[in-house]
Amino acid sequence: MADNQEKEYLTQEKFNELQKELGLLKSEKRKEVADALEYAKSLGDLSENAEYQEARDMQAKLEHRISHLEQVIKSAIIIQPRHSDVIGIGSTVVVKKTGDSKERTFCLVGSEEANTTEGKISDQSPLGEAMMGKKGGDSFVCCAPNGDMHYKILEVK
Asked whether residue 55 is domain-assigned, the answer is yes
Q: How far apart are CA 117 and CA 122, in angstroms?
A: 12
Per residue in 128-141, pLDDT tens? 999 999 999 999 99
Q: Looking at residues 116-123, what average pLDDT do you find?
A: 94
The residue-averaged pLDDT of 140-153 equals: 92
Angle CA(79)–CA(81)–CA(87) in degrees, nearest 5?
95
Range of the domain at 145: 80-156
CATH number at residue 60: 1.10.287.180
Cα–Cα dist 93/29, whole Å: 39
Model confidence over 6-65: pLDDT tens digits? 788 998 999 999 999 999 999 999 999 999 999 888 887 777 778 888 999 999 999 999
Same domain, 63 and 96: no
Residue type, 145: P
Q: With beta carbons less than 8 A apart as the criterion, state whether 117 and 54 touch.
A: no
Residues 52 and 23 in one domain: yes
Q: How far apart are CA 115 and CA 117, in angstroms?
A: 6
Q: Which of 80, 75, 74, 84 is nearest to 136 (CA)?
A: 84
Same domain, 93 and 68: no
